[in-house]
């Protein structure tokens, strides 16, 4: 009797830890034998526990689908509805291991109405097994699954012609199917394509070669899975480290934690944080087991930098001379996953790596018929449909084309009410400098990958020392007529007379110049606030106190402004005068015109105004004077340590 020692267990564990992991997805038409094939792989590689095997034996007897034998399809057909119908309707994940490699299999559905499930299963796969029933040939669903594998950038595909036992193991049938599929796949972008004839039911060419297809000189399926080269699939060139968490266990340590999407990071590397563009040098790389010489994907690492720069969750660390695109607009192939159709007028949350940003699908360029690959006109995407879309986000994202980086080139779309994932997207490549017109036929931001942020030779600390103040943005918000401009002007006068470096950004004045291309729609008000925040940030970086007076009715827009300026520099002041008082103060009967429908989108009348939940200061300007309002703001600035920095 062989005794297992702790040392032998540790040795086996260490061996298993150092094996490659291959993630694969299976796809095929209904009854092509996906579940049986996976069951065969698990069964013959000893990847099924005894209790699971006993449950399969019991279920096989009840089902009667294999004439009293063992129905290996039941290993993965875990849902009751699947067992009753004999089909797969959900993604079933299974793990098994051989002496050479570890595997995670995603058994995805074959039905067209479960396209979203296949996308979920294939999103992280290195290899796709596409099954074709030898007795049926290449079907429409086979073509659809090949297209999806290509769309999702899966680098390796194995076309397994299954059920060869039903065609008497005919070499002619096999050759005809291979020729048919090669003709179709020439239109796709699949880097590595392999064909293997098998019988999942009898086991021929799955794990062992068998004797029924002596004419086939290739490898078995399992041997191919064990030996397919996947090391080069990882991008070790382009450093992309999305920051997930900033670790501050004590005052002497600040580490930036995240999982490496691509590239290698080492101590001494000069890195840049995006989207801010600030630079520093890596002082230490810490892995799961402590400090290490380098980190590589997909390792989780903690990185420390030589400089204390403003980095938060959602930012990305990259090498200085190897940067992704940074933009608020991009093109993507989107798979829609919700029962409710896509709405181009609706705001969604876009999750890209570790960054969340409000955004919308501003335009659907076309929908793809996944069965024929034809492009069709579309005004919306329905459940399981795929289309090319223009996506606009409120906060700049640092991304690569999906073909170059499957992590930084992918995103998901989240419903802002239900918080459900409603779509998944793959970012497409566009030439640098390419311009797109948005829904208002304006030219949006141009990609400028050759540009980088230049640092001033005068530091902010030097400016603070000379001026005796710390830069801050005072953001005054409230309904029209609440007194924003009046109080903003009075505050500027007070601070200037006290010898402070201060400037005023008035929302109405900038609409005569900087923002004269914007109207008063919700989108344009959001852009108005974004530009104001960018200007305020520039004023702050010059060491100045910036006063911004904008209606800025949306909590979301004010939150974006805060993220642009920086939470430590952003003071939100809410002028709480009720609408009745504002109506009396406002010029040109503007409230009356809104009530009469002459002005269509007017916050406080026929458009919402989100009252700030936790502003830094509330000024009831219908109860206190302008002078007292200014006194309270100055007192807040003193309390926050803005003066005598």
Cβ contact 246:311 at 8 Å: yes
What is the 8-class DSSP label of residue 437?
B
Note whether residue 490 is domain-resident. Answer: yes
Q: Is residue 437 part of a domain?
A: no
Instruction: Name the phi and psi angles at 398, rounded to 5.
Output: -100, 115
Considering the domain architecture, whether residues 478 and 570 belong to the same structural domain is answered as yes
Domain end marker among 281, 300, 319: 319
Give the pLDDT confidence score for residue 112 in this predicted structure.
56
Q: Tell me the longest C-alpha to C-alpha distance in the chain.
A: 98
Could you say which of 427, 450, 479 is where a domain stops?
A: 427
- Contacts with 33 (C-beta within 8 Å, 6 or more apart), sequence order: 73, 131, 133, 162, 163, 200, 201
pLDDT tens digits, 482-538:
999 999 999 999 999 999 999 999 888 888 888 888 878 777 888 889 999 999 999
Judgement on whether residues 471 and 418 belong to the same structural domain of the protein: no
Are 79 and 158 within one domain? yes
Q: Is residue 9 part of a domain?
A: no
| Cα–Cα dist 181/137, whole Å | 9
Give the pLDDT score at 448. Answer: 43
Give the C-alpha distances (Å, rounded to integers) separating 25 from 32, 466, 585.
14, 63, 65
- Helices and strands in the chain, H and E counts: 16, 28
Which CATH number goes with the domain that contains 336? 2.40.30.10
294 plus 342 within the same structural domain: no
> 86 and 218: one domain?
yes
Same domain, 304 and 331: no
Tell me whether residue 441 is in a domain.
no
Residue-wise pLDDT tens digits, 251-296: 789 999 999 999 999 999 999 999 888 899 999 999 988 899 899 8
User: Two tokens at 30?
Assistant: 């209904």
Q: pTM of this prediction?
A: 0.59
Domain span at 302: 241-319
Residue 257 belongs to a domain: yes
CA gap 334, 384 in Å, rounded: 10
User: Looking at the DSSP assignment, which residues form a beta bridge with residue 574?
Assistant: 477, 618
Q: Which residues pair with 398 in a beta bridge?
A: 326
Specify whether 491 is located in the same domain as 609. yes
Domain count, the chain: 4
622 and 578 Cβ atoms separated by less than 8 Å:
yes
Residue 264 lies in a domain: yes
Read off the pLDDT of each residue in 229-249 and give the average, rounded to a whole number.
87
Q: Of the residues 291, 319, 347, which one is the last residue of a structural domain?
A: 319
In a shared domain, residues 33 and 147: yes
Considering the domain architecture, whether residues 217 and 332 belong to the same structural domain is answered as: no
What HEC string does 349-375 produce? EEEECCEEEEEEEEEEEEEECCCCCCE
- Regarding whether 213 and 133 lie in a shared domain, the answer is yes
Per the CB < 8 A criterion, the answer to whether 548 and 474 are in contact is yes
- Residue-wise pLDDT for 537-587, tens only, equals 999 999 999 999 999 998 888 988 998 898 889 999 999 999 999 999 888
Q: How confident is the model at residue 178 (pLDDT cuts 50, 70, 90)?
A: very high
Assign residue 96 the CATH number of its domain.
3.40.50.300
Roughly what angle, to the nearest 10 degrees, separates helices 522-541 and 555-565?
A: 20
Q: Does a structural domain hold residue 133?
A: yes
- Shared domain for 386 and 471, answered yes or no, is no
- By DSSP bridging, strand 545-549 and strand 570-575 are unpaired
Please tell me whether residues 371 and 500 are part of one structural domain.
Answer: no
Task: Find out whether 175 and 161 touch, Cβ atoms under 8 Å.
Answer: no
pLDDT class of 104 with cuts at 50, 70, 90: confident
Query: Is residue 542 in some structural domain?
Result: yes
């Amino acid at each position: 009797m062989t005794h297992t020692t702790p040392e032998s267990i540790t040795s086996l564990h260490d061996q298993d830890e150092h094996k490659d992991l291959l993630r694969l997805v299976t796809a095929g038409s209904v009854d092509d034998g996906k579940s049986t094939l996976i069951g065969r792989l698990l069964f013959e590689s000893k990847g099924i526990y005894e209790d699971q095997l006993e449950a399969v034996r019991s279920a096989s007897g009840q089902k009667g689908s294999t004439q009293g034998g063992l129905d290996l399809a039941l290993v993965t057909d875990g849902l009751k509805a699947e067992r009753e119908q004999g089909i797969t309707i959900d993604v079933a994940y299974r793990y098994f291991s051989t002496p050479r490699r570890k595997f995670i299999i995603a058994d995805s559905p074959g039905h067209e109405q479960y396209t979203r499930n296949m996308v979920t299963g294939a999103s992280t796969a290195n290899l796709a097994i596409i099954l074709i029933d030898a007795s049926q040939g290449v079907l429409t669903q086979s073509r659809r699954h090949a297209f999806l594998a290509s769309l999702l950038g899966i680098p390796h595909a194995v076309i397994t012609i299954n059920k060869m036992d039903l065609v008497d193991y005919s070499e002619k049938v096999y050759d005809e199917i291979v020729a048919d599929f090669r003709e179709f796949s020439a239109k796709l972008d699949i880097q590595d394509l392999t064909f293997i004839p098998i019988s999942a039911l009898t086991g021929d060419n799955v794990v062992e070669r068998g004797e029924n297809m002596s004419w086939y000189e290739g490898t078995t399926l399992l041997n191919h899975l064990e030996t397919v080269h996947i090391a080069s699939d990882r991008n070790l060139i382009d450093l992309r480290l999305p920051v997930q968490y900033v670790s501050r266990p004590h005052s002497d340590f600040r580490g930036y934690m995240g999982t490496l999407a691509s590239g290698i990071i080492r101590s001494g590397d000069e890195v840049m944080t995006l989207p801010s563009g600030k630079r520093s040098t890596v002082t230490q790389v810490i892995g799961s087991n402590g400090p290490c010489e380098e980190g590589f994907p997909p390792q989780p690492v903690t990185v420390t930098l030589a400089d204390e720069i403003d980095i938060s969750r959602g930012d990305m660390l990259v090498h200085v001379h190897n940067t992704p695109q940074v933009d608020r607009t991009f093109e993507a192939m989107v798979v829609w996953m919700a029962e409710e159709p896509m709405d181009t007028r609706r705001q969604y949350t876009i999750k890209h790596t570790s960054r969340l940003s409000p955004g919308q699908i501003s335009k659907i360029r076309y929908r793809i018929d996944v069965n024929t690959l034809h492009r069709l006109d579309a005004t919306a995407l329905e459940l399981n449909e795929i289309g090319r879309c223009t996506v606009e986000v409120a906060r700049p994202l640092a991304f690569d084309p999906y073909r170059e980086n499957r992590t930084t080139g992918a995103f998901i779309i989240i419903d802002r009410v239900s918080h459900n994932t409603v779509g998944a997207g793959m970012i497409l490549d566009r030439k640098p400098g390419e311009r797109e017109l948005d829904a208002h036929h304006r030219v949006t931001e141009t990609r400028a990958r050759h540009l980088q942020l230049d640092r001033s030779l005068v530091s902010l600390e030097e400016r603070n020392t000379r001026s005796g103040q710390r830069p801050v943005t005072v953001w005054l918000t409230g309904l029209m007529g609440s007194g924003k401009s009046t109080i903003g002007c009075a505050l500027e006068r007070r601070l200037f007379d006290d010898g402070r470096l201060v400037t005023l950004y008035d929302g109405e004045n900038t609409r005569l110049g900087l923002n004269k291309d914007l109207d008063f729609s919700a989108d344009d008000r959001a852009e108005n606030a974004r530009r104001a925040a960018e200007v305020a940030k520039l004023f702050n970086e010059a060491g100045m106190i910036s006063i911004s007076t904008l209606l800025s009715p949306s909590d979301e827009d004010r939150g974006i402004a805060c993220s642009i300026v920086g939470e430590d520099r952003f003071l939100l002041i809410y002028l709480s005068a009720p609408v009745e008082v504002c109506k009396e103060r406002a010029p040109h009967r503007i409230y009356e015109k809104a009530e009469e429908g002459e002005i269509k989108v007017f916050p406080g009348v026929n458009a919402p105004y989100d009252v700030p939940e936790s502003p830094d200061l509330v000024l009831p300007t219908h109860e206190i004077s302008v002078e007292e309002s200014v006194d309270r703001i100055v007192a807040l600035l003193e309390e926050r340590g803005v003066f005598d920095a």
